[in-house]
Structure 1
Protein backbone atom coordinates (compact mmCIF):
# COMPACT_ATOMS: atom_id res chain seq x y z
CA UNK A 1 0.00 0.00 0.00
CA UNK A 2 2.80 2.40 0.91
CA UNK A 3 4.60 1.67 -2.33
CA UNK A 4 1.48 2.08 -4.46
CA UNK A 5 0.64 5.33 -2.65
CA UNK A 6 4.12 6.65 -3.27
CA UNK A 7 3.86 5.74 -6.94
CA UNK A 8 0.49 7.43 -7.20
CA UNK A 9 1.89 10.55 -5.55
CA UNK A 10 4.88 10.57 -7.88
CA UNK A 11 2.54 10.17 -10.82
CA UNK A 12 0.45 13.15 -9.73
CA UNK A 13 3.52 15.31 -9.25
CA UNK A 14 4.89 14.22 -12.63
CA UNK A 15 1.56 15.03 -14.23
CA UNK A 16 1.48 18.49 -12.67
CA UNK A 17 5.03 19.20 -13.87
CA UNK A 18 4.17 18.01 -17.38
CA UNK A 19 0.99 20.09 -17.46
CA UNK A 20 2.89 23.17 -16.30
CA UNK A 21 5.61 22.67 -18.92
CA UNK A 22 3.06 22.21 -21.70
CA UNK A 23 1.22 25.33 -20.56
CA UNK A 24 4.46 27.31 -20.67
CA UNK A 25 5.23 26.15 -24.20
CA UNK A 26 1.71 27.02 -25.31
CA UNK A 27 1.99 30.50 -23.80
CA UNK A 28 5.33 31.12 -25.53
CA UNK A 29 3.89 29.93 -28.84
CA UNK A 30 0.99 32.38 -28.52
CA UNK A 31 3.16 35.24 -27.22
CA UNK A 32 6.62 34.96 -28.84
CA UNK A 33 9.48 37.39 -28.20
CA UNK A 34 9.28 40.43 -30.45
CA UNK A 35 12.22 42.56 -29.39
CA UNK A 36 15.99 42.51 -29.04
CA UNK A 37 18.19 40.87 -26.44
CA UNK A 38 20.99 42.54 -24.53
CA UNK A 39 23.33 41.09 -21.93
CA UNK A 40 24.03 43.43 -19.03
CA UNK A 41 25.59 42.79 -15.64
CA UNK A 42 23.21 40.41 -13.91
CA UNK A 43 20.69 39.71 -16.66
CA UNK A 44 19.88 38.99 -20.27
CA UNK A 45 17.20 41.53 -21.15
CA UNK A 46 14.48 41.38 -23.78
CA UNK A 47 13.44 44.87 -24.84
CA UNK A 48 11.83 46.91 -27.60
CA UNK A 49 13.33 50.20 -28.79
CA UNK A 50 11.03 52.26 -31.02
CA UNK A 51 10.51 55.85 -32.12
CA UNK A 52 12.89 58.80 -31.90
CA UNK A 53 13.24 61.89 -29.77
CA UNK A 54 13.54 62.36 -25.99
CA UNK A 55 13.90 58.97 -24.33
CA UNK A 56 11.28 57.24 -22.19
CA UNK A 57 12.13 53.90 -20.52
CA UNK A 58 9.24 51.80 -19.20
CA UNK A 59 9.35 49.02 -16.60
CA UNK A 60 6.31 46.88 -15.83
CA UNK A 61 4.87 45.51 -12.63
CA UNK A 62 4.39 42.16 -10.89
CA UNK A 63 3.47 39.29 -13.26
CA UNK A 64 3.65 41.72 -16.17
CA UNK A 65 5.84 42.08 -19.24
CA UNK A 66 6.56 44.65 -21.93
CA UNK A 67 3.32 44.03 -23.84
CA UNK A 68 1.52 45.68 -20.95
CA UNK A 69 2.84 48.90 -22.50
CA UNK A 70 2.86 48.03 -26.20
CA UNK A 71 -0.79 46.97 -25.97
CA UNK A 72 -1.98 50.56 -26.40
CA UNK A 73 0.34 53.07 -24.75
CA UNK A 74 3.55 53.14 -26.78
CA UNK A 75 1.77 53.79 -30.07
CA UNK A 76 0.54 57.07 -28.59
CA UNK A 77 4.09 58.22 -27.86
CA UNK A 78 6.43 56.98 -30.59
CA UNK A 79 5.68 59.85 -32.99
CA UNK A 80 7.60 62.18 -30.66
CA UNK A 81 9.67 60.03 -28.32
CA UNK A 82 12.13 57.19 -28.35
CA UNK A 83 10.36 54.61 -26.20
CA UNK A 84 12.18 51.63 -24.67
CA UNK A 85 10.10 48.96 -22.96
CA UNK A 86 11.82 46.09 -21.18
CA UNK A 87 10.91 42.74 -19.67
CA UNK A 88 12.23 42.73 -16.13
CA UNK A 89 14.45 39.69 -15.42
CA UNK A 90 12.32 36.67 -14.63
CA UNK A 91 9.38 38.12 -16.58
CA UNK A 92 8.55 37.91 -20.25
CA UNK A 93 11.71 36.77 -22.01
CA UNK A 94 14.33 38.36 -19.76
CA UNK A 95 16.40 36.15 -17.49
CA UNK A 96 18.97 36.50 -14.76
CA UNK A 97 22.40 35.39 -15.97
CA UNK A 98 24.00 34.78 -12.60
CA UNK A 99 23.07 33.80 -9.08
CA UNK A 100 22.42 36.82 -6.91
CA UNK A 101 19.85 39.12 -5.40
CA UNK A 102 16.33 39.44 -6.74
CA UNK A 103 15.18 42.35 -4.58
CA UNK A 104 14.51 45.98 -5.46
CA UNK A 105 18.20 46.95 -5.29
CA UNK A 106 19.22 44.19 -7.71
CA UNK A 107 16.45 44.96 -10.20
CA UNK A 108 17.10 48.70 -10.03
CA UNK A 109 20.79 48.08 -10.68
CA UNK A 110 19.93 46.02 -13.77
CA UNK A 111 17.76 48.83 -15.16
CA UNK A 112 20.68 51.17 -14.50
CA UNK A 113 22.96 48.84 -16.46
CA UNK A 114 20.47 48.90 -19.35
CA UNK A 115 20.45 52.72 -19.39
CA UNK A 116 24.25 52.80 -19.46
CA UNK A 117 24.56 50.02 -22.04
CA UNK A 118 22.23 51.84 -24.44
CA UNK A 119 24.04 55.13 -23.72
CA UNK A 120 20.80 56.86 -22.75
CA UNK A 121 21.15 60.43 -21.53
CA UNK A 122 18.99 60.81 -18.42
CA UNK A 123 15.72 59.36 -19.73
CA UNK A 124 12.30 59.68 -18.17
CA UNK A 125 11.84 56.41 -16.27
CA UNK A 126 8.28 55.08 -16.15
CA UNK A 127 7.42 52.47 -13.54
CA UNK A 128 4.04 50.74 -13.30
CA UNK A 129 3.01 49.03 -10.04
CA UNK A 130 6.06 47.12 -8.71
CA UNK A 131 8.01 48.82 -11.49
CA UNK A 132 7.36 52.06 -9.61
CA UNK A 133 9.18 50.72 -6.54
CA UNK A 134 12.10 49.73 -8.74
CA UNK A 135 12.16 53.16 -10.41
CA UNK A 136 12.15 54.87 -7.02
CA UNK A 137 14.95 52.61 -5.83
CA UNK A 138 17.10 53.56 -8.81
CA UNK A 139 16.31 57.24 -8.20
CA UNK A 140 17.62 56.96 -4.63
CA UNK A 141 20.73 54.98 -5.62
CA UNK A 142 21.78 56.40 -9.00
CA UNK A 143 19.87 59.64 -9.61
CA UNK A 144 22.48 60.86 -12.09
CA UNK A 145 21.26 58.24 -14.58
CA UNK A 146 17.75 59.68 -14.73
CA UNK A 147 15.99 62.78 -15.98
CA UNK A 148 12.76 62.19 -14.10
CA UNK A 149 10.25 59.64 -12.84
CA UNK A 150 6.71 58.97 -14.07
CA UNK A 151 5.08 56.46 -11.73
CA UNK A 152 1.83 54.82 -12.80
CA UNK A 153 -0.19 53.13 -10.04
CA UNK A 154 3.12 52.55 -8.25
CA UNK A 155 3.95 50.52 -5.19
CA UNK A 156 5.74 53.14 -3.07
CA UNK A 157 5.13 52.48 0.63
CA UNK A 158 5.89 49.49 2.89
CA UNK A 159 2.87 47.23 3.47
CA UNK A 160 2.24 44.74 6.25
CA UNK A 161 0.62 42.32 3.80
CA UNK A 162 0.55 41.85 0.05
CA UNK A 163 -2.69 42.66 -1.78
CA UNK A 164 -5.15 39.83 -1.15
CA UNK A 165 -5.12 38.62 -4.73
CA UNK A 166 -1.33 38.10 -4.55
CA UNK A 167 -1.10 36.56 -1.07
CA UNK A 168 -0.74 33.00 -2.48
CA UNK A 169 2.53 34.10 -4.07
CA UNK A 170 4.12 35.06 -0.75
CA UNK A 171 6.54 32.37 0.37
CA UNK A 172 9.83 33.01 2.20
CA UNK A 173 11.41 29.71 1.10
CA UNK A 174 13.08 29.69 -2.34
CA UNK A 175 12.84 25.88 -2.42
CA UNK A 176 9.10 25.88 -1.73
CA UNK A 177 8.59 28.68 -4.24
CA UNK A 178 10.31 26.62 -6.92
CA UNK A 179 8.36 23.44 -6.12
CA UNK A 180 4.99 25.20 -6.08
CA UNK A 181 5.77 27.10 -9.29
CA UNK A 182 6.53 23.85 -11.14
CA UNK A 183 3.57 21.87 -9.82
CA UNK A 184 0.48 23.49 -8.30
CA UNK A 185 0.73 27.14 -9.29
CA UNK A 186 -0.07 26.82 -12.99
CA UNK A 187 -3.25 24.71 -12.73
CA UNK A 188 -4.50 26.71 -9.74
CA UNK A 189 -3.72 29.92 -11.56
CA UNK A 190 -5.81 28.83 -14.53
CA UNK A 191 -8.76 28.10 -12.24
CA UNK A 192 -8.46 31.54 -10.60
CA UNK A 193 -7.43 33.47 -13.73
CA UNK A 194 -10.78 35.12 -14.43
CA UNK A 195 -11.21 36.35 -10.85
CA UNK A 196 -7.59 37.50 -10.65
CA UNK A 197 -7.79 39.54 -13.84
CA UNK A 198 -11.12 41.06 -12.87
CA UNK A 199 -9.57 42.23 -9.60
CA UNK A 200 -6.38 43.53 -11.20
CA UNK A 201 -8.23 45.42 -13.95
CA UNK A 202 -11.36 46.39 -12.01
CA UNK A 203 -13.42 48.47 -12.12
CA UNK A 204 -12.37 48.51 -15.79
CA UNK A 205 -13.24 45.47 -17.91
CA UNK A 206 -10.53 42.98 -18.81
CA UNK A 207 -9.58 43.38 -22.50
CA UNK A 208 -10.64 40.27 -24.40
CA UNK A 209 -7.26 40.07 -26.12
CA UNK A 210 -5.12 40.72 -23.05
CA UNK A 211 -3.69 37.19 -23.06
CA UNK A 212 -1.91 37.58 -26.39
CA UNK A 213 -1.76 41.27 -27.25
CA UNK A 214 -1.16 42.28 -23.63
CA UNK A 215 1.19 39.37 -22.88
CA UNK A 216 -0.99 37.99 -20.08
CA UNK A 217 -0.45 34.35 -21.04
CA UNK A 218 3.25 34.57 -20.21
CA UNK A 219 2.44 35.07 -16.53
CA UNK A 220 1.18 31.48 -16.30
CA UNK A 221 4.60 29.88 -16.86
CA UNK A 222 6.43 28.31 -13.88
CA UNK A 223 9.42 30.61 -14.39
CA UNK A 224 7.24 33.72 -14.30
CA UNK A 225 5.34 32.49 -11.24
CA UNK A 226 8.59 31.78 -9.41
CA UNK A 227 9.89 35.25 -10.30
CA UNK A 228 6.68 36.93 -9.11
CA UNK A 229 6.69 34.93 -5.89
CA UNK A 230 10.31 35.89 -5.27
CA UNK A 231 9.62 39.57 -5.96
CA UNK A 232 6.56 39.86 -3.76
CA UNK A 233 8.37 38.02 -0.98
CA UNK A 234 11.12 40.67 -1.07
CA UNK A 235 9.19 43.95 -1.22
CA UNK A 236 10.09 44.53 2.43
CA UNK A 237 13.07 46.37 0.93
CA UNK A 238 10.75 49.36 0.65
CA UNK A 239 11.05 49.95 4.39
CA UNK A 240 14.66 51.01 3.79
CA UNK A 241 14.00 52.94 0.58
CA UNK A 242 10.91 54.99 1.50
CA UNK A 243 12.76 57.24 4.02
CA UNK A 244 15.08 58.30 1.17
CA UNK A 245 12.28 59.76 -0.96
CA UNK A 246 12.68 63.16 0.69
CA UNK A 247 16.13 63.43 -0.90
CA UNK A 248 15.00 62.81 -4.49
CA UNK A 249 15.76 65.93 -6.53
CA UNK A 250 14.32 64.71 -9.84
CA UNK A 251 10.98 65.79 -11.29
CA UNK A 252 8.50 63.13 -10.18
CA UNK A 253 4.91 62.55 -11.24
CA UNK A 254 2.51 59.94 -9.86
CA UNK A 255 -0.67 58.86 -11.63
CA UNK A 256 -3.36 56.60 -10.17
CA UNK A 257 -6.74 55.30 -11.18
CA UNK A 258 -9.25 56.36 -8.53
CA UNK A 259 -10.79 52.90 -8.47
CA UNK A 260 -7.51 50.96 -8.09
CA UNK A 261 -8.27 47.65 -6.31
CA UNK A 262 -4.63 46.60 -5.86
CA UNK A 263 -2.89 49.62 -4.32
CA UNK A 264 -4.38 52.47 -2.31
CA UNK A 265 -4.02 55.72 -4.30
CA UNK A 266 -3.96 57.80 -1.12
CA UNK A 267 -1.16 55.78 0.51
CA UNK A 268 0.98 55.02 -2.54
CA UNK A 269 0.14 58.16 -4.51
CA UNK A 270 -0.81 61.26 -2.52
CA UNK A 271 1.26 60.42 0.58
CA UNK A 272 4.37 59.64 -1.46
CA UNK A 273 4.01 62.74 -3.62
CA UNK A 274 3.81 64.84 -0.47
CA UNK A 275 7.13 63.33 0.66
CA UNK A 276 9.13 63.99 -2.52
CA UNK A 277 10.06 67.65 -3.08
CA UNK A 278 8.14 69.04 -6.06
CA UNK A 279 6.36 65.76 -6.88
CA UNK A 280 2.96 66.00 -8.55
CA UNK A 281 0.08 63.62 -7.98
CA UNK A 282 -2.90 63.15 -10.31
CA UNK A 283 -5.83 60.76 -10.41
CA UNK A 284 -8.05 59.69 -13.27
CA UNK A 285 -11.01 57.37 -13.58
CA UNK A 286 -9.94 53.74 -13.79
CA UNK A 287 -8.26 50.88 -11.99
CA UNK A 288 -4.77 49.48 -11.62
CA UNK A 289 -4.14 48.77 -15.30
CA UNK A 290 -4.66 52.26 -16.72
CA UNK A 291 -1.74 51.92 -19.19
CA UNK A 292 -4.03 49.45 -21.01
CA UNK A 293 -7.50 50.70 -20.12
CA UNK A 294 -6.93 54.48 -20.23
CA UNK A 295 -4.07 54.86 -22.75
CA UNK A 296 -5.07 58.32 -23.99
CA UNK A 297 -5.16 59.85 -20.52
CA UNK A 298 -1.98 58.01 -19.49
CA UNK A 299 -0.12 59.08 -22.64
CA UNK A 300 -1.20 62.70 -22.19
CA UNK A 301 0.03 62.64 -18.60
CA UNK A 302 3.33 61.03 -19.65
CA UNK A 303 3.89 63.77 -22.20
CA UNK A 304 3.53 66.36 -19.46
CA UNK A 305 6.01 64.48 -17.26
CA UNK A 306 8.46 64.23 -20.16
CA UNK A 307 8.19 67.98 -20.56
CA UNK A 308 9.45 68.40 -16.99
CA UNK A 309 12.75 66.62 -17.69
CA UNK A 310 15.56 69.21 -17.80
CA UNK A 311 16.60 69.98 -21.36
CA UNK A 312 13.51 68.33 -22.83
CA UNK A 313 11.71 70.93 -24.91
CA UNK A 314 9.11 68.52 -26.28
CA UNK A 315 5.74 70.05 -25.49
CA UNK A 316 2.84 67.91 -24.43
CA UNK A 317 0.46 67.48 -27.33
CA UNK A 318 -3.23 68.05 -26.67
CA UNK A 319 -4.75 64.70 -25.80
CA UNK A 320 -7.24 63.70 -23.12
CA UNK A 321 -6.24 65.50 -19.94
CA UNK A 322 -5.76 63.65 -16.67
CA UNK A 323 -7.95 65.08 -13.96
Structure 2
Protein backbone atom coordinates (compact mmCIF):
# COMPACT_ATOMS: atom_id res chain seq x y z
CA UNK A 1 0.00 0.00 0.00
CA UNK A 2 1.23 3.50 -0.82
CA UNK A 3 -0.87 6.63 -0.32
CA UNK A 4 -0.59 10.33 0.40
CA UNK A 5 -2.66 12.69 2.47
CA UNK A 6 -2.90 16.11 4.08
CA UNK A 7 -4.26 17.16 7.49
CA UNK A 8 -5.02 20.67 8.70
CA UNK A 9 -3.42 21.51 12.03
CA UNK A 10 -3.62 25.05 13.43
CA UNK A 11 -2.49 27.18 10.44
CA UNK A 12 -0.63 24.38 8.65
CA UNK A 13 -1.50 21.89 5.93
CA UNK A 14 0.65 18.91 6.88
CA UNK A 15 1.57 16.42 4.15
CA UNK A 16 2.09 12.75 4.94
CA UNK A 17 2.63 9.42 3.19
CA UNK A 18 1.86 5.77 3.93
CA UNK A 19 4.01 2.82 2.88
CA UNK A 20 3.35 -0.87 3.43
CA UNK A 21 0.78 -2.59 5.61
CA UNK A 22 0.59 -3.60 9.25
CA UNK A 23 0.82 -1.88 12.66
CA UNK A 24 1.66 1.80 12.26
CA UNK A 25 5.13 3.23 12.84
CA UNK A 26 5.51 6.99 12.46
CA UNK A 27 8.95 8.34 11.47
CA UNK A 28 9.69 11.88 12.63
CA UNK A 29 12.53 13.51 10.69
CA UNK A 30 15.46 15.44 12.06
CA UNK A 31 16.17 19.03 11.01
CA UNK A 32 15.42 19.59 7.34
CA UNK A 33 14.67 15.92 6.74
CA UNK A 34 12.36 14.26 4.24
CA UNK A 35 11.60 10.70 3.21
CA UNK A 36 14.98 10.37 1.51
CA UNK A 37 16.50 11.15 4.89
CA UNK A 38 15.59 7.59 6.00
CA UNK A 39 17.32 5.79 3.11
CA UNK A 40 16.04 2.25 2.63
CA UNK A 41 14.74 2.00 6.21
CA UNK A 42 11.23 2.82 4.98
CA UNK A 43 11.30 -0.12 2.58
CA UNK A 44 12.65 -2.45 5.26
CA UNK A 45 9.99 -1.53 7.81
CA UNK A 46 7.18 -1.51 5.23
CA UNK A 47 7.57 -5.29 4.82
CA UNK A 48 5.66 -5.75 8.09
CA UNK A 49 4.45 -2.27 9.04
CA UNK A 50 2.46 0.68 7.82
CA UNK A 51 5.23 3.26 7.74
CA UNK A 52 3.96 6.82 8.13
CA UNK A 53 6.25 9.66 7.05
CA UNK A 54 5.39 13.34 7.22
CA UNK A 55 6.69 16.83 6.58
CA UNK A 56 6.29 18.90 9.71
CA UNK A 57 6.44 22.69 9.33
CA UNK A 58 9.56 23.98 7.61
CA UNK A 59 10.11 21.07 5.23
CA UNK A 60 8.71 19.25 2.22
CA UNK A 61 5.18 19.83 0.98
CA UNK A 62 3.76 21.20 4.23
CA UNK A 63 2.67 24.83 4.20
CA UNK A 64 1.99 27.16 7.13
CA UNK A 65 1.95 30.83 8.12
CA UNK A 66 5.72 31.14 8.49
CA UNK A 67 5.65 31.83 12.23
CA UNK A 68 8.49 30.73 14.53
CA UNK A 69 8.29 27.03 15.34
CA UNK A 70 7.90 25.36 18.71
CA UNK A 71 7.88 21.75 19.88
CA UNK A 72 4.23 21.58 21.02
CA UNK A 73 3.03 22.83 17.61
CA UNK A 74 5.09 20.23 15.75
CA UNK A 75 4.01 17.51 18.19
CA UNK A 76 0.38 18.37 17.40
CA UNK A 77 1.15 17.97 13.70
CA UNK A 78 2.62 14.51 14.27
CA UNK A 79 -0.36 13.59 16.47
CA UNK A 80 -2.86 14.72 13.82
CA UNK A 81 -1.14 12.63 11.15
CA UNK A 82 -1.05 9.64 13.50
CA UNK A 83 -4.78 9.97 14.14
CA UNK A 84 -5.50 10.42 10.43
CA UNK A 85 -4.11 6.98 9.62
CA UNK A 86 -6.86 5.55 11.86
CA UNK A 87 -4.41 3.82 14.19
CA UNK A 88 -5.52 3.50 17.84
CA UNK A 89 -1.88 4.02 18.75
CA UNK A 90 1.45 4.13 16.97
CA UNK A 91 5.06 3.22 17.44
CA UNK A 92 6.92 6.51 17.23
CA UNK A 93 10.50 6.89 15.91
CA UNK A 94 12.19 10.29 16.13
CA UNK A 95 15.63 11.40 14.99
CA UNK A 96 17.55 14.37 16.48
CA UNK A 97 15.09 17.32 16.44
CA UNK A 98 12.45 14.72 15.60
CA UNK A 99 13.37 12.90 18.80
CA UNK A 100 12.55 16.04 20.77
CA UNK A 101 9.20 16.36 18.97
CA UNK A 102 8.44 12.68 19.59
CA UNK A 103 9.31 13.00 23.28
CA UNK A 104 6.93 15.93 23.70
CA UNK A 105 4.17 13.99 21.95
CA UNK A 106 4.73 10.89 24.10
CA UNK A 107 4.56 13.02 27.24
CA UNK A 108 1.45 14.94 26.18
CA UNK A 109 -0.51 12.16 24.46
CA UNK A 110 0.36 8.89 26.23
CA UNK A 111 -2.74 7.15 24.88
CA UNK A 112 -1.51 7.66 21.30
CA UNK A 113 2.10 6.44 21.60
CA UNK A 114 2.60 2.71 22.14
CA UNK A 115 6.40 2.72 22.04
CA UNK A 116 8.99 5.43 21.60
CA UNK A 117 12.33 5.03 19.78
CA UNK A 118 14.71 7.99 19.85
CA UNK A 119 17.80 8.15 17.62
CA UNK A 120 20.55 10.71 18.27
CA UNK A 121 18.20 12.57 20.58
CA UNK A 122 19.28 15.38 22.87
CA UNK A 123 17.82 16.93 26.02
CA UNK A 124 18.92 20.51 25.51
CA UNK A 125 20.66 22.69 22.96
CA UNK A 126 22.42 24.44 25.82
CA UNK A 127 25.09 21.70 25.65
CA UNK A 128 28.10 23.66 24.27
CA UNK A 129 28.92 21.41 21.30
CA UNK A 130 25.32 21.38 20.11
CA UNK A 131 24.89 25.12 20.58
CA UNK A 132 28.01 25.80 18.49
CA UNK A 133 26.85 23.36 15.79
CA UNK A 134 23.41 24.95 15.44
CA UNK A 135 24.84 28.46 15.42
CA UNK A 136 27.19 27.41 12.59
CA UNK A 137 24.28 25.88 10.69
CA UNK A 138 22.32 29.11 11.05
CA UNK A 139 25.19 31.20 9.67
CA UNK A 140 25.95 28.86 6.75
CA UNK A 141 22.30 28.63 5.74
CA UNK A 142 22.32 32.42 5.45
CA UNK A 143 25.62 32.87 3.59
CA UNK A 144 26.98 29.56 2.22
CA UNK A 145 24.45 26.82 1.54
CA UNK A 146 26.93 24.58 -0.25
CA UNK A 147 29.21 24.90 2.77
CA UNK A 148 26.29 23.92 5.00
CA UNK A 149 25.76 20.74 2.98
CA UNK A 150 29.45 19.91 3.18
CA UNK A 151 29.67 20.38 6.94
CA UNK A 152 26.49 18.35 7.32
CA UNK A 153 28.03 15.41 5.44
CA UNK A 154 31.25 15.62 7.44
CA UNK A 155 29.49 15.63 10.80
CA UNK A 156 26.56 13.27 10.18
CA UNK A 157 28.33 10.41 8.38
CA UNK A 158 31.10 8.18 9.72
CA UNK A 159 34.48 7.24 8.23
CA UNK A 160 32.98 3.84 7.44
CA UNK A 161 30.40 5.47 5.19
CA UNK A 162 33.04 7.50 3.33
CA UNK A 163 34.96 4.27 2.68
CA UNK A 164 31.86 2.52 1.29
CA UNK A 165 30.51 2.49 -2.29
CA UNK A 166 27.68 4.76 -1.12
CA UNK A 167 30.13 7.65 -0.86
CA UNK A 168 30.24 7.82 -4.65
CA UNK A 169 26.69 9.20 -4.57
CA UNK A 170 27.48 12.12 -2.25
CA UNK A 171 27.72 14.72 -5.03
CA UNK A 172 24.30 13.75 -6.37
CA UNK A 173 22.84 13.77 -2.87
CA UNK A 174 24.34 17.19 -2.20
CA UNK A 175 22.89 18.61 -5.42
CA UNK A 176 19.49 17.23 -4.50
CA UNK A 177 19.68 18.88 -1.08
CA UNK A 178 20.81 22.18 -2.58
CA UNK A 179 17.92 22.41 -5.05
CA UNK A 180 15.23 20.60 -3.07
CA UNK A 181 15.53 22.17 0.38
CA UNK A 182 13.06 24.71 1.72
CA UNK A 183 15.85 26.96 3.00
CA UNK A 184 13.59 29.45 4.77
CA UNK A 185 11.84 26.57 6.50
CA UNK A 186 15.15 24.95 7.39
CA UNK A 187 16.31 28.19 9.01
CA UNK A 188 13.14 28.20 11.14
CA UNK A 189 13.84 24.62 12.22
CA UNK A 190 17.42 25.48 13.20
CA UNK A 191 16.13 28.37 15.30
CA UNK A 192 13.98 25.79 17.09
CA UNK A 193 16.98 23.49 17.51
CA UNK A 194 18.66 26.30 19.46
CA UNK A 195 15.70 26.50 21.87
CA UNK A 196 15.22 22.79 22.58
CA UNK A 197 14.96 21.81 26.23
CA UNK A 198 12.90 18.71 26.96
CA UNK A 199 14.02 17.91 30.51
CA UNK A 200 10.46 18.23 31.83
CA UNK A 201 8.78 16.30 29.01
CA UNK A 202 11.33 13.46 29.06
CA UNK A 203 10.72 12.87 32.76
CA UNK A 204 6.97 12.47 32.05
CA UNK A 205 7.29 9.78 29.35
CA UNK A 206 5.74 6.53 30.54
CA UNK A 207 5.65 4.33 27.42
CA UNK A 208 8.40 1.77 26.72
CA UNK A 209 11.31 3.73 25.27
CA UNK A 210 14.43 2.75 23.35
CA UNK A 211 17.16 5.38 23.03
CA UNK A 212 19.64 4.67 20.24
CA UNK A 213 23.03 6.33 20.38
CA UNK A 214 25.38 6.64 17.43
CA UNK A 215 28.96 5.65 18.27
CA UNK A 216 30.54 8.09 15.81
CA UNK A 217 28.06 10.94 16.17
CA UNK A 218 29.84 14.31 15.94
CA UNK A 219 26.68 16.32 16.61
CA UNK A 220 24.81 14.62 19.46
CA UNK A 221 27.40 13.17 21.82
CA UNK A 222 25.28 12.84 24.97
CA UNK A 223 22.34 10.64 23.95
CA UNK A 224 22.72 8.72 27.22
CA UNK A 225 21.62 11.87 29.07
CA UNK A 226 18.25 11.60 27.32
CA UNK A 227 18.01 7.90 28.19
CA UNK A 228 18.79 8.61 31.83
CA UNK A 229 16.04 11.24 32.00
CA UNK A 230 13.25 8.97 30.68
CA UNK A 231 11.95 6.54 33.31
CA UNK A 232 12.93 2.92 32.58
CA UNK A 233 14.28 3.71 29.10
CA UNK A 234 16.69 1.27 27.45
CA UNK A 235 19.89 2.37 25.72
CA UNK A 236 21.46 0.74 22.67
CA UNK A 237 24.22 1.91 20.34
CA UNK A 238 24.97 1.53 16.63
CA UNK A 239 28.48 1.72 15.18
CA UNK A 240 27.71 4.61 12.83
CA UNK A 241 27.40 8.39 12.65
CA UNK A 242 24.53 10.77 13.40
CA UNK A 243 22.37 9.18 10.70
CA UNK A 244 22.80 5.61 11.94
CA UNK A 245 19.44 4.49 10.53
CA UNK A 246 20.73 5.55 7.08
CA UNK A 247 24.24 4.08 7.35
CA UNK A 248 23.14 0.90 9.13
CA UNK A 249 19.48 0.54 8.17
CA UNK A 250 19.41 -3.24 8.55
CA UNK A 251 20.83 -3.09 12.07
CA UNK A 252 18.55 -0.23 13.05
CA UNK A 253 15.45 -1.96 11.66
CA UNK A 254 16.35 -5.13 13.57
CA UNK A 255 16.77 -3.19 16.84
CA UNK A 256 13.49 -1.37 16.40
CA UNK A 257 11.48 -4.46 15.45
CA UNK A 258 12.98 -6.55 18.24
CA UNK A 259 12.08 -3.82 20.70
CA UNK A 260 8.59 -2.94 19.46
CA UNK A 261 7.36 -6.32 18.19
CA UNK A 262 9.00 -8.37 20.92
CA UNK A 263 7.64 -6.16 23.65
CA UNK A 264 4.11 -6.54 22.38
CA UNK A 265 4.06 -10.17 21.32
CA UNK A 266 1.18 -12.17 22.88
CA UNK A 267 3.56 -13.84 25.35
CA UNK A 268 5.02 -10.54 26.58
CA UNK A 269 2.15 -8.08 26.76
CA UNK A 270 2.82 -7.46 30.43
CA UNK A 271 6.61 -7.61 30.26
CA UNK A 272 9.02 -4.71 30.39
CA UNK A 273 12.15 -4.12 28.36
CA UNK A 274 15.14 -5.76 29.98
TM-score by length of 2: 0.83
Change (3 A) 1:272 1:107: same
| Aligned counterparts of 2:199 and 2:179: Cα–Cα separation in 1 | 31
Question: Among residues 218, 226, 234, which one is paired with 1:272 in the alignment?
Answer: 226
CA RMSD of aligned residues (A): 2.9
Q: Does 1:222 align with 2:183?
A: yes
Q: How far off its partner does 1:108 sit?
A: 0.7
Q: How far off its partner does 1:130 sit?
A: 0.7
Specify every segment of 5 or more residues in structure 1 that has no aligned partner in the other structure, as ranges. 1-33, 172-179, 316-323
Please tell me whether the aligned partners of residues 25 and 51 of structure 2 are also in contact (alpha carbons under 8 angstroms).
Answer: yes
The answer for the alignment partner of 1:196 in structure 2 is 152
Please tell me whether the aligned partners of residues 122 and 226 of structure 2 are also in contact (alpha carbons under 8 angstroms).
Answer: no
Q: Does 1:63 align with 2:48?
A: no
Q: Is 190-199 or 129-138 further displaced after alignment?
A: 190-199
Residue 78 of structure 2: SS of its match in structure 1? helix
- Report Cα offsets for 1:177-202 as digits up to 9, x if no partner: xxx96xx44xx121443233111213
Q: Does 1:243 align with 2:165?
A: no
The answer for the alignment partner of 1:75 in structure 2 is 43
- Report Cα offsets for 1:98-125 as digits up to 9, x if no partner: 4655111111111111112222221100
Question: Among residues 103, 109, 121, which one is paired with 2:88 in the alignment?
Answer: 121
The answer for the alignment partner of 1:304 in structure 2 is 258
The answer for the alignment partner of 1:38 in structure 2 is 6
Greater share of residues in strand:
2
Q: How far off its partner does 1:274 sit?
A: 2.6
Q: Does 1:256 align with 2:213?
A: yes
Residue 34 of structure 2: SS of its match in structure 1? coil
Q: Does 1:141 align with 2:108?
A: yes
Q: Which entry has the higher C-alpha Rg, 1 or 2?
A: 1
Residue 278 of structure 1: SS of its match in structure 2? coil
Write the mapping of 1:161-200 to structure 2, written as runs, cut at 5 A.
161=128, 162-170=130-138, 184-185=142-143, 188-200=144-156
Instruction: Show structure 1 runs of 4+ deviating over 6 A.
Output: none
TM-score by length of 1: 0.71
Paired residue total: 260
Q: Does 1:92 align with 2:60?
A: yes
